[in-house]
């Protein structure tokens, strides 16, 4: 919004959406939505089209995790909850966006999926989250291929250790591959936002298929 975009905000927590929208209320459309629900997603994208007339960018950012346990200790319900939001939710939003971008005039647009570092390398005990993020890479590649005929570009932003409420525990120690706890460096979340903005503002004749932005010293590249 601060960069001049008009933004539709989808998520389950209306209070959090309105807090984000308060940065620039005149540019924001708040749409409380469970992205794993087909009907709610369809209604949200109809509202986007009614308000803005078109859609130029979808950022698939909704996600959730599960307890950090071995696969045999993860319930099927916990598995399904992660898959429904991280994968099915991304599919439903991409499906709705793709259809709108195909039929609008001028046609086309851009879809950016949030893959995370887990799209490349798992953390211990992350079978559900990591599986969905690897699947997001397949979604990204398929959309990038199928979108060519319709002037729809698709890329993936993989973020590592951005400093948010979700990474607050990193300062206390995170379980590593060898079993020990270690404090992990984090980066300002603004760097993730600027990376997203760079991808979003490219002309449709250019695309970044995959971009990784991460805390420089996080234990990602190398043996762990």
Q: Could you list the active site residues?
A: 129
In terms of Cα–Cα distance, which of 195, 207, 166, 161 is closest to 64? 166
Query: In whole angstroms, what is the distance from residue 117 CA to residue 63 CA?
Result: 13
Helices and strands (H, E) in the chain, number of each type: 6, 10
Q: Is-contact 32 18, C-beta < 8 A?
A: no
Query: In whole angstroms, what is the distance from residue 172 CA to residue 170 CA?
Result: 5
For residue 78, what is the enclosing H or E element?
helix 76-83
For residue 89, what is the enclosing H or E element?
helix 89-103
């Amino acid at each position: 919004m601060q960069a001049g975009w008009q933004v539709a905000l989808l998520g389950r927590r209306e209070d959090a959406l309105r807090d984000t929208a308060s940065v620039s209320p005149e540019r924001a459309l708040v749409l409380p939505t469970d992205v794993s629900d087909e009907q709610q997603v369809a209604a949200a994208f109809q509202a986007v089209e009614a308000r803005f007339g078109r859609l130029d960018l979808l950022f698939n950012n909704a996600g959730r995790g599960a307890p950090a346990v071995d696969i045999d200790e993860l319930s099927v319900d916990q598995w399904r909850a992660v898959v429904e939001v991280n994968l099915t939710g991304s599919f439903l939003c991409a499906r709705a966006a793709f259809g709108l971008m195909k039929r609008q005039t001028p046609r086309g647009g851009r879809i950016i999926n949030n893959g995370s570092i887990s799209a490349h390398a798992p953390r211990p005990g992350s079978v559900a989250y990591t599986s969905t993020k690897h699947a997001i890479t397949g979604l990204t590649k398929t959309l990038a291929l199928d979108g060519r005929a319709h002037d729809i570009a698709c890329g993936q932003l993989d973020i590592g250790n951005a400093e948010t409420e979700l990474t607050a525990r990193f300062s206390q120690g995170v379980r590593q591959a060898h079993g020990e706890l270690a404090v992990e460096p984090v980066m300002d979340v603004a760097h993730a936002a600027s990376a997203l903005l760079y991808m979003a503002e490219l002309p449709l004749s250019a695309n970044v298929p995959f971009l990784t932005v991460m805390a420089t010293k996080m234990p990602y590249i190398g043996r762990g």
